[in-house]
Amino acid sequence: MTEELTKKAAEMLLKGATLLSEPCPYCAGVRVMQEGQALCISCGRQPEKKEIPDITNNTSPLEKIFEKKLESLSKELEQEKDHEKQQNILKTINTLLETIEKMKDKQ
């Protein structure tokens, strides 16, 4: 581990970076992650930066309504003791999930 890499890793950590539990795929060294960029402290290699799409901006108002409904149904299911009612809630949840998936496929 070079002194330069140590300093860079320390600077990244001070700026809010985190240590990764997965070792470097090249040398099995310790890696530091900041803003989607991982740096190996041992060999200094950095994989290509990959942007993670922000799905919250792509969510339509209808999808947000469905997600709220799913949350509500999940809470209802948790409280429900009657197995028949549980099955009906699960069917409704499944239908909502299928509809959301179809909406995403069309985007």
Is 42:1 a contact under the CB 8 Å cutoff?
yes
Residue 52 inside a domain? The answer is: no
Look at residue 55 and tell me if it is in a domain. no
Domain-embedded: residue 15: yes
Number of domains in the chain: 2
- Please tell me the chain's helix, strand, coil percentages from 3-state DSSP, rounded to the nearest 5: 50, 10, 40
The total of other beta-carbon atoms located within 10 Å of residue 4's CB is 9
Q: d(Cα 16, Cα 24) in Å, to the nearest integer?
A: 20
92 is in which domain, residue-wise? Answer: 61-106
CA 76 distance to own-chain centroid? 26
pLDDT tens digits, 59-101: 778 888 988 999 999 999 888 888 899 999 999 999 988 888 8
Q: Find the helix or strand (DSSP H, E) in which 38 lies.
A: strand 37-40
State pTM to two decimals.
0.45
